[in-house]
Each structure stands twice: as C-alpha cells, then as structure tokens.
Structure 1
Amino acid sequence: MMRYIRLWLSLMRLSFRGAPVLTAVTLAVSVLDVFVVAGYAIAARHLVDTTVTGPASVAGLVALGVAVAFALTMVTRDMLFNLVGTVADRVGRLELNPRLHVAIAGIDGLEHLERQEYLDRVTVLRGAAGSLMRGCWGVVATVCGIGKLVVTVSLLGSVSPWMLALLAFAFAPILADARGQAAVARAEVRSAEDYRLQQDLFDLQVRPASGKELRLYGNGDRVARAQAEAWDHAVSQRVRARLAAGAWRFAGWAVFTLAFTGALALVVRQVEAGAGTIGQLVLTVTIAATLQQSAQAVVTTATDTAGVRRYVEPYLWLQDYVAEQRQEPAGTTPMPSRLDAGVAVEGVTYTYPGTTTPAVRHVDATFPAGTVTAIVGEYGSGKSTLVKLLCRFYRPGAGRVTVDGQDIAGIAMAGYRQGIAATFQDFGRFAVDYRTGVAVGDLPAFDDDDRVGSAIEAADAAGVVAALPDGVRTQLGKDLGGVELSEGQWQRTALARSSMRDAPVILVLDEPTASLDALSEQVVFERYASRSRRLASQNGAVTVIVSHRFSTVSTADQILVMHDGEIVERGTHTELIRLGGRYAEMFELQARGYENKEKKK
C-alpha cells in the first residue's frame, strides 16, 4: 500500500510542477463538489419548512438559495470533468511521458531489450502516461466522493441513526470492483506477449517491405491466421477477466441496493408516524435520491481508478527495474584518450536472457593498441555479441573486458562510450533531417558543419546527399512525410554518423557494408583503412571489423575465427590460409563463388 501512496504523491508533485495553477484549481473544485449536494438538500429542507410555517419573503430568499445550490451542483460536475481531463492529459504528455522515456533510455546496456518481462511491461505502458495521471486524479475523485457520501449519510443520520449504516454498505460495490479490476490487470500482463505478437504480425502484413514477400510466396493467409489466433488468445484472456470483474460488480451493487431499499422504507415509515417534519422528508428523499448517484459515481471512479492498476503495476515494476540497474556499481575511472596496451577480453562468457546456451563462452583475445582485428565466422557464431560486449552493451556473465589493463566496469560509462565510434549491422534509421541523422554521432560537435561534411565524405555519402531534394536539410522517413532512403543509403548514413567522432580509441565496424555493392564497399573500406591508420598513429586506437566478406579482412593485423561462441583460430590471413583450417575453408568457398560469378559474366 505504501508503494501506491508514494506513487500518488510523486504524481501529484509532478502535476504541481508541470501545471501548478490548473492543479490547484482542480483540487479546489474537487473539495467544493463534496459539499454542494448537501448544501442543496439543506436549502430544500429550509425552503419547505419556511413555506409551511414562515413568511413568504423568507421563503423567497430560501428558494433563491436552493436555485444557487442546484446551479453549483451542475456547474461543479461539468467543470470538474473538464479540469481533470485537461490537467491529466497535459501533465501526462508533457511531464510523465518524457520521464518514462528518460528512465528507459537511462539504462546503460541493451540486456533489458532481450528480457520478455521487460518487453511485456513496456507494451502495456505504451501511450499510458495520460491514463496514469487520470488514475492519480481518480484517487482524488474517489476520496472526495467518499467524503460526499459521509456528508450526505450524516444528514440522513440526523433524520434516523439507522441511515448511518448505509455508509458501510456503500463500500460493498467499491471493494467488489477493486477485486474484479485486479483480475483484469493480471490478465493484461499475461496476454501482453500475445498482443505484441499479433501487432507485429499485423505490421508484417501492411508494411511494403514484408508485404512484397508475403504476396510473392503466398504466405498472406497464413500470417493473417496466425495474427487472428494470437489476437483471439490475447482477447479471450482479457474477456474472461472482464466477465469476472462484471460478476464482482453485480454482487457489490446487489448488496448496496438491498440495504438502500430497506433504509429508505424505514425513514418513510418514521415520517408517516409523525416523527419528522415535511422538510425532513424532503431532505431525506433528496439525499436518498442523490446518495445512489453519489455511490454510483464513487464506484465508477473507483472502478476506473482500479482499472489503471493495469498500468500502475508495470510502471512500478519498471521503476524497480531501473533502480536496480542503477544500483550496479558505477565506474569512475576516466576513459584513456590514448591506448598503450590496447583492449583485452579475458575468459568472457555471456548468455542472453531467456536462453540457456551461451552466445560466447570462455573467450580470450587481445586487441593490441594501434592494430586492426577482424572477426569472422558463420551466422550465430558470436561475432556481434563479442563486439557488443566490447561496447559495454552487455555485462559478461563471467570474465572481463579491459582497456589498458583497467576493467571497463570501473570506467565511467559516459566517458567509455565517448571513446568509441561504431557502425552496426542493425543500424538505426532516424526519421530526422539528414544532417541531424549524421550529427548525432557526436553531440559536442553537433553544430560543426565542417565535421558533418567530413563525416559524410568519409562514408562516401556525398552522392546520397546530392540526390536529396533539400540536401542535408531533407526530412527522412516516409511516416513523417520525408524521403525514404534505400537500404544502402541508410547504411551510408549510419557510416557517416560513426565518422563524426574524430578521436575514438575503439573503432567498431560490425558488418558495416553489408548493404553496399562491391565497388562502394571497396571505396568505404579504403577510407576506413586510412582512418584506422590515422587513429592508430594519433592515439593508438584499436579497430575491430566484423565481416563475412574475406576480401575486406585479409589485410587485418590479426583475424579471429569464431565458431559456436568460441574463438577456434587466430592469426594473420597468411597464417590462417597456411593452417588449412576453418578460415581457409571459408575463404576458399567464397573465392570459388566469386570465380564462378566472373565466369558466368
């Protein structure tokens, strides 16, 4: 319970910080709404009693008071609805949503993106910031609604003490709804994986890239059926939970309705026996009529608020997960600006979350300062995992990675990342203008047009820019009304981005030219080879290349051959060919393939 209270307090503080005046006005109107119905009932009682026993002038004034009280009941209800909606959406979108994004982006590594439980919670939380804030205000509305019930039932108690028992029965629907909504929240999380699967399958059918192949190979119906099955499985779990919640709601309302009917019959009998005035009868009927509405409003608000629990639990889980990740010892040692010994991998083993087979195991390797190391091997051999460990995206399950003898876990993360430049095979496609898509590769140099131009030139991307309608200011990404680049053009953009940092000590190229033709690949690698030599002379930088194309790795100072998560061979190109092992076999197969292509020409 304390966790929920702390969460509510933090969201209210966020609301006061993001919209102080709007929040204060909403709270004031919420408190006013507690008393307006009671004021209206009291005014009605006085009006009737004064009409029967008092002068007409006084009755007229009381009637005016009744009209004012009635108007307040109408105005506060509509005003409160609009105020809550406005403040919840505003704070949710402008304050809480960025906070969620910062929390997620603040996790240093990528391991969480491999965890099913993390992905399930993020799926539930997507676009839920406004709902969380409405839930926060739902708590306020529920408390105020209960306060309104207390005030109205107290007025009824002035007529008959037995009426006070109605307050206890008014909580029956609330408790029943809370139990039902807890079941709905659990179902939301349980079905998140199926829901995400059906969404992915839907996207697969409507996106142009995948749509071509689905139609060509006749798999559209099969994918549609798979999506329908995933949807049915997800929805069936949620429907069952909502049916159970409906049954709980019916039971709660049945208890309250029986108690309400009995109490009302008791008061009517008492008035018939002459134990009260006509004004008290009017007050009783007025309050009794509004009591049901007030109780229903409390239940509805409480139900909606309890329904937000399906977002609250994932949000609290995410908070705990982020806090746990940040409790890991943070490095404080600065990243060397020049390498003397180089980088070393010592007995490193890593297993992806949710799997049991290590992606890399017992890997030992050295990357001497000022050298180029190529890593080759079949798909799934562990090459990309190894370079991601070098980039500190994952924490080794065993062993360590060192830079000049210093465990990278002890190096400050921001400084370590600043010392790396990298291009990955699964590069980002940022829907921004072209210049921004390159310049984000080095934020301190973001406004340096010369640096951006040099990076574009280094990646052989000048031709891409020349073909764009507005040059480097061209918006990219079809979804935002921009230009959609080809796969090779996106890869050149990623290469330009990695060229922004002018003095990295670790340069990583993970299949950097997989989407380029042979001629473009040769041009890019010649420029990167020149850059590697310059960096090696300048600061002893280490270059690590992952590639399936042996023509690009043969000139490396050393080549590491990976198989099934282990390094099985190492040496220069000449040494490995002479060895006649796995590298020589793969090189021969690829060379033979190129020869056959040339003969066919």
Structure 2
Amino acid sequence: MRTLRTLRGNATLFREIFGLCWRRSRPLFLTVCVCMTLDTFAVAAIGLCMRAMVSGTIDSDGTVIVVGAVGAALGYALTITFTEITGALQINLCELVAREHYDRQIQLAAMGIEGIEHLEQTEYLDQLTALYDQTWAIGRSAWGALEATALVVRLFLVLGLLGSISPVLLVILLAGVIPLYFEQRARTLIQNAQHARSQDRRLQRRLFEILTGGATGKEVRVAGTSTHLVRLQREAAERSELIWRRANLRAGLLNALGWSVFVGSFVAGLAVVVVDAAHNSAHVGDIVLTITVGTQLRSLVQNAVRASSSTGGAGRVLEPYRWLREYEAAHTSKAAGPAPAGLTRGITFEDVTFTYGNSDRPALDAVNVTLPAGSVVAVVGEYGSGKTTIVKLLEKMYRPTSGRILIDGVDLADIDTRSWRTATAAAFQDFGRYHSTFAQGIALGDLAHPERLGTAVANADAQILVDRLPDGVDTQLGRPFGGVDLSEGQWQKLALARACMREAPLLFVLDEPTASLDAPSEHAIFERYMERARAIAPGGITVIVSHRFSTVAGADLILVLDKGRLVEVGSHEELLAKSATYADLYSLQQTAYAG
C-alpha cells in the first residue's frame, strides 16, 4: 500500500515538474524530448547496420557494405551527440526549476506553518538537511523516470533483435535485470546512510558557524575552547564519513555481484552464436550483431543503472520533499475568520497550559487572566518563569497544550494566522540582526509602509544612533558585507524601531525590549511606549515583558509569574499593598539600581 501511494505521489510530482519545465523553456523541453526519442531507436539501427555490413561482405555487395557502414557510423555519432545534448539541457532545466520554484517553495513552506515548533524538531531538520543544496535533484527525478521509460522501449527492441538470432540469447536480456536488482538494493543502503548521517552533518555546520562567527568567535577565543570544538567537529565528520564509507562499500560489492552475473551470461550467449556460425557461414553476421547488440545491451544496462542511480539519488530528495509537503499540509491552518478591526473586551486566557515538546514540566500551568482592551499589561517574573512563552502563544508561535486564548470571545485558534499577525507587532528578546542597510532592517517590520521609517526611528529613540552612522539610515550593517557593526544595545534599538513600523496594531508585544540598554535609555523608551500604547488601534493591547519590576510600574495591569504559574495580578499599587512577594522583589531591584 505504501509503495502504491509513493508511486502515485511520484507520478503527480513528475507531472508537476514537466509542467514547470515546459512553462520555463519550451524550446529546451522539446529539444530534450526529441533527442531522447531518437536516441532510443539508435540502438536497433546500429545493430542492423552492422549485420548488413557483414552480410554484404560475405555476399560481396559493395552497396550494402557502404550503406551499413555509413548507417552504423552515423548511428554511433548521433547517439553520442544526443546523449551529450540531453544531459546538458536536462541539468540546465533542473537547475532553473530548482532555483525559481523548489528552493523558494521549501523556504516559504517552512515559514507558512503558523508555529515554530517544527523548526525545533530533529526529524523536520533532518529532512531539510537532506534537501540542502539538492533541490535540483527533484527535477532530475522526473527526467530520470522518462529515461527509464525510454530504456524499457530500447530493451524491447533489443529483445526483438536477440530473439531473431536465437531464443537462447534472451538469457542475456534477462541477466541484464540482475544488475538493476542489486543496484536497487545498493541505492536503499545509500539512502538509509544519507538519513543516518543528517544529524552529524548538521552538527558539523553548526560547529563551523560557531568557530567562524564574529560573536561566538570571541567567546571561543577567550575561553580557549577552539581545540575542543574542532575535535567535536572532526568526530562528527568521522562518524558521518564512517556511515557513508560503509554504505558505499556494501553498495559497490552488490553492484559488482550484479555485473558479474551479467558478464557471465553474455559470454555464454555469445558462445552459442559462435558455435552456430561455425556450422553455417550465413550466420557470421549474427556474431557481429550479437556483439554489437550485446555491447549496446551492456551500455543500455549501464545507462539503466545510471538512470536508476540518478533517480535513486533524486529519491533521496523526493522522500524528504514529499514528507515536508505532507507535513506542511497537515500543519497548515484550515479556513478561519479574520482578525477583528478592534477590541472591546480584550484577550482572555482560559486555563491555558503549555509544555514544550522536549520537556515534561509545563512552561505555563493553568493560567487564567483577562488582558482588558486598551490596556498596557506588564508581565514580570524571574528567568524561566514563563514570560516569553506567553508572548509566543499570543503570536501563535505555539498553540496551548490545553485551554484556549480568546480574542473578544473568539478562540485565537479560529482566527486566520496571517490576518492575526498582520494586526500585531512584536520585538522579541532574541531579535534578528539583519546585515542589510539600517533602513532596510527597520522597513522589514512593515514593507508596505516605508514612509513610516522616520516615525519608527523616533519611537525607538534611535535618532542619535542614526546621526552617528557614516551614511545615516543608508549605512550598510555587518562587517562580513563591508558594513559597520553595532553594539548589542544599538541592534536592540533597531529591532524596537522595526516593531514600531505598524502604527496601530491590535496587539503590541515587547519581550525584554530594553535588556541591552542602560538605565536612562530604558526609562525613556518605556515612557515613550507607555504613551504610544494609548494611541494604538481601538482597544489595542500593549504587552511588555520584563524581569525588571521597577520599569513597569506605570502599566495598567501587572502579571507576576513564578515557575509557569500566575501568582499575582493587579496594578503596581495593588500589588505593593497586597503582595509581599511583589513588594519584596520590587524593593530589592530598586535598591540594586539605586546602588
């Protein structure tokens, strides 16, 4: 059943690939098809011409000799030409389709899944690793299947020629199937090995990035851990190569066994023809035809193995590609309603619990709270208390393990994810550092409204930073690209400006937005965002996440988290009055900053 489903899936995919090739370049597509068709019938033509040439020699017929010789030479020349043209043009088409369609599709599919949990799963990352720089093989798989079809036609032609000489010679054709069988088993070994070493290959790349990266490179040098990390990378490489070498050795032995059987069968069949020709000189031409066709059959089987290997190589990509498409289809949100234009009641957490896939302890445990429409809400707590998890759930990066989040009474799960995110804005604590121009790094917050860039810079208190840059907002960032590098605090201001590109979001999230800034800058930015929060969309909610209690005193509502549980809710004054825990933590941080 699984094999049948795979075949149907491949057939659908092959139609898609040929359609893409046809639309991309009809002349290239037609040229490849014509060359493959002519090359298919060249095998039989060459064999017949060679037999005619020998028969003409025996009969002293010069015309037949010349025609046979010219036909055979022309057949060989055209075969070589068609093979070269077909190979080159196929590669061209496959690379075009991969670059313009499949690379883009795979990237968009990864981003199209509403959450980010898949990007933390080993299985998903293994499938992506298998596709890394190999998407051209997706297109190659379809052409390999077409070549296989052409090879079947050639095999039937050879079958007819050999059968016309002696039915005994059909054993050569049957023996030609044996290398294909062993090659199939060898290919399975290679595919399994490719998957088995995916995690080590990913580890190699990650360690290379750590060793050569600017930020991580500093820590590696100071700590003196470069030798250790290089050793870990070498060990990962050795494990990967050991798996690969063993698989290739076993595959090579299987292929050698298959070809040995074929060669033995060919020699036995040729001996039958030679004995027959020794008793009947009229059949001397059959020796030449047998050798010619047999040689062509050997070449045909080699091509079949090559096409099978190529298709198998593509199979190493087709399987993860199909897996990713099925995963995307299974995890893509169904039809849902749009986000509301404004909020009247607010956002309610109903008994929300969430546990990360690699943990057995809830990151949030039975949280019940309402964030009123039009309010500024602060979420505070120690590291690991669940603050960032609340942000991720609000932005639909994850879905609650149990419970639900209501937006004006509507389950967030029933709101279209793209529509919801278009109505929100966020600055995360693990913000992106884009090596673009300063302006482009901000404009990524809302590409549809580049005119808001100046206002976003002002809201992030980043104008002084812009004035110090050599080319202002047009300054290229990132030393690897010949640009300037920013400090951690400057990168954070850029991220804040990017989050401010949307003027009136329903939900505005700031996750530790000032962690890298000094106290005066932190205070100024919080004051600015408190003011801005009052002017966003009707009923819009601003959520500020911080581990610094002293900076969120002006919030309308403060949520105090501890080890995933919501332990206190209220305004700053209410919490000071009723919560000894909040009062002690607030006083402790006030004293620390004052000191």
- CA deviation string 1:192-225 (max 9, x = no partner): 2222122212211111211211121222222222
C-alpha contact (below 8 Å) 1:41/1:287 kept by paired residues: yes
Specify the code of the residue in structure 1 equivalent to 2:346: G
1:406 correspondence with 2:403: no
C-alpha contact (below 8 Å) 2:550/2:590 kept by paired residues: no
Distance in 1, Cα, partners of 2:519 & 2:40: 75
Deviation, 1:167, is 2.1
Q: Which residue of 2 aligns with 1:110?
A: 116
Distance in 2, Cα, partners of 1:92 & 1:276: 55
With 462-471 and 348-357 compared, the bigger mean Cα shift is at: 462-471
The change in CA–CA distance for 1:74 and 1:464 in structure 2 (over 3 A counts) is same
C-alpha contact (below 8 Å) 1:458/1:496 kept by paired residues: yes
Q: Which residue of 1 aligns with 2:304?
A: 298
Q: Which residue of 2 aligns with 1:502?
A: 503
1:422 correspondence with 2:423: no
Secondary structure, in 3 states, of the residue corresponding to 1:443? coil
Distance in 1, Cα, partners of 2:465 & 2:277: 89
Distance in 2, Cα, partners of 1:108 & 1:226: 35
Distance in 2, Cα, partners of 1:18 & 1:134: 15
C-alpha contact (below 8 Å) 1:34/1:147 kept by paired residues: yes
Distance in 2, Cα, partners of 1:540 & 1:15: 51
| Unmatched tracts of structure 2, length 5 or more | 1-6
Specify the code of the residue in structure 2 equivalent to 1:438: I
Q: Which residue of 1 aligns with 2:555?
A: 556
Deviation, 1:579, is 3.7
Q: Which residue of 1 aligns with 2:3?
A: none
Deviation, 1:345, is 0.8
> Aligned to 2:346, which of 339, 342, 346?
342
Secondary structure, in 3 states, of the residue corresponding to 2:477? coil
The change in CA–CA distance for 1:19 and 1:464 in structure 2 (over 3 A counts) is farther
Distance in 2, Cα, partners of 1:583 & 1:186: 56
1:352 correspondence with 2:356: yes
Deviation, 1:454, is 1.0
Deviation, 1:457, is 1.6
Distance in 1, Cα, partners of 2:539 & 2:139: 52
Distance in 2, Cα, partners of 1:516 & 1:63: 85
C-alpha contact (below 8 Å) 1:170/1:295 kept by paired residues: yes
- CA-based RMSD of the aligned residues comes to 2.1
Distance in 2, Cα, partners of 1:158 & 1:554: 96
Q: Which residue of 1 aligns with 2:132?
A: 126
Q: Which residue of 1 aligns with 2:395?
A: 391
Q: Which residue of 1 aligns with 2:155?
A: 149
Distance in 2, Cα, partners of 1:435 & 1:394: 30
Q: Which residue of 2 aligns with 1:73?
A: 79
Deviation, 1:299, is 0.9
Distance in 2, Cα, partners of 1:445 & 1:482: 25
Deviation, 1:321, is 0.4
The change in CA–CA distance for 1:452 and 1:595 in structure 2 (over 3 A counts) is closer
- CA deviation string 1:216-260 (max 9, x = no partner): 122222222222222222332333322222232222222222222
Distance in 1, Cα, partners of 2:343 & 2:235: 55
Distance in 2, Cα, partners of 1:18 & 1:469: 44
Secondary structure, in 3 states, of the residue corresponding to 1:367? strand
Q: Which residue of 1 aligns with 2:585?
A: 586
The change in CA–CA distance for 1:580 and 1:102 in structure 2 (over 3 A counts) is closer
Distance in 2, Cα, partners of 1:394 & 1:195: 28
Deviation, 1:564, is 1.4
TM-score of the superposition, structure 2-length normalised?
0.94
Deviation, 1:109, is 1.6
C-alpha contact (below 8 Å) 1:374/1:553 kept by paired residues: yes
- CA deviation string 1:473-515 (max 9, x = no partner): 3343444444433322222221111111111111100011222
Deviation, 1:577, is 2.9
With 354-363 and 233-242 compared, the bigger mean Cα shift is at: 233-242
1:201 correspondence with 2:202: no
Distance in 2, Cα, partners of 1:306 & 1:503: 53
C-alpha contact (below 8 Å) 1:348/1:398 kept by paired residues: yes
TM-score of the superposition, structure 1-length normalised?
0.93
Specify the code of the residue in structure 2 equivalent to 1:463: I
Q: Which residue of 2 aligns with 1:530?
A: 531
C-alpha contact (below 8 Å) 2:148/2:307 kept by paired residues: yes
C-alpha contact (below 8 Å) 2:273/2:286 kept by paired residues: no
Specify the code of the residue in structure 2 equivalent to 1:442: D
Distance in 2, Cα, partners of 1:398 & 1:60: 84
Q: Which residue of 1 aligns with 2:314?
A: 308
Distance in 2, Cα, partners of 1:586 & 1:33: 82
With 434-443 and 286-295 compared, the bigger mean Cα shift is at: 434-443
The change in CA–CA distance for 1:479 and 1:144 in structure 2 (over 3 A counts) is farther
Deviation, 1:57, is 4.4
Specify the code of the residue in structure 2 equivalent to 1:329: K
Deviation, 1:276, is 4.2
C-alpha contact (below 8 Å) 1:423/1:508 kept by paired residues: yes
Deviation, 1:356, is 2.4
- CA deviation string 1:499-533 (max 9, x = no partner): 11111111100011222222222222222111112
- CA deviation string 1:20-60 (max 9, x = no partner): 32122212211211111321221222223224325434543
| Unmatched tracts of structure 1, length 5 or more | 597-601
C-alpha contact (below 8 Å) 1:194/1:234 kept by paired residues: yes
C-alpha contact (below 8 Å) 1:153/1:166 kept by paired residues: no
Distance in 2, Cα, partners of 1:478 & 1:470: 15
